[in-house]
Amino acid sequence: MNFQIDKKAMLLSVLLMYGSFFATGTYLLEHETMNLFQVIMTCPYLLKNYTALHYIDHQYGIWFYLLLPVACGLPFIGILCDELNTNYYRLISARIGNIKFIVCTLLVQFISTISSFFVATVFFKLTALIIGILKNKEGTFDEIQQMNLSYFLVEDGRCLLYLVMISGLIIFMAILTADFYFSVIVVFLINFLIQDHEISILALEIVTACFAYIGSAYIFRRRWLAC
């Protein structure tokens, strides 16, 4: 394992997140609720009633959260599982040391998911800004002048923390089972239960993320790197 990510899979991860932002939002047409994608495809004239801030404010919806396990697993988990099943990882761990190998593995997973999220959310915000300027220039510029950076940091930071938790859970399952598909399915089901019951506790997410990454390191060393 050379701590490389699958670039095509990472691109797909970015596209999944980016696409999920369009599958949310609340836009009304004769008492019918539509998402942003439906509005763009069927009723683009409605966009003049909304500003860029409205699109960004409704960026994170149910589709974003449901697709997170897949998006977090695509860039690196498949490669990790392949290496675990072929034992090639032992050549690398013998050369750089077990502790450094574990830390690098967890960092690659962490950085790849954060990078996918960052690219997707930045591109969506730019897209929202372009749509806002084209369809409602006056309203969009008025909101830009009154914007506060902390407004975005709170919501984006909240979603980022949830993403880190999901990323930790999926690498935990991958190290435990060495099976990409099983890991994604299990974390998807956990994620679905959380969303279905609307469980949102900041402290719980922090504890779960820490447990997932620390547990991953422990299992990695005990199961895969034991002499």
User: In sequence order, which residues have a C-beta less than 8 Å from that of residue 9 and are 6 or more positions away?
Assistant: 74, 75, 78
Residue 1 lies in a domain: no
Residue 86 lies in a domain: yes
Please report, to the nearest 10 degrees, the dihedral formed by the alpha carbons of residues 23, 26, 32, 35 taken in order. -20
Residue 2 lies in a domain: no
Strands 27-29 and 32-34: what pairing?
antiparallel
Share of the chain above pLDDT 70, in %: 87
16 vs 135, residue with greater confidence: 16
Residue 68 lies in a domain: yes
CA distances from 114 to 11, 73, 139, 166, 171 (A): 13, 12, 32, 11, 14
Verdict on whether the full-model pTM lies above 0.75: yes
Q: What is the mean pLDDT of residues 197-214?
A: 83
Q: Which domain holds residue 63?
A: 7-224
Chain centroid offset of residue 69 CA: 8
* pLDDT of amino acid 202: 80
Q: What's the total number of domains in the chain?
A: 1
Average pLDDT, the chain: 86
155 vs 217, residue with greater confidence: 217
Number of Cβ within a 10 Å radius of residue 160: 16
The tens digit of pLDDT for each residue in 106-154 reads: 999 999 999 999 999 999 989 988 888 888 777 666 766 666 666 667 7
Tell me the two tokens of residue 96.
């750089």
Residue 206 lies in a domain: yes
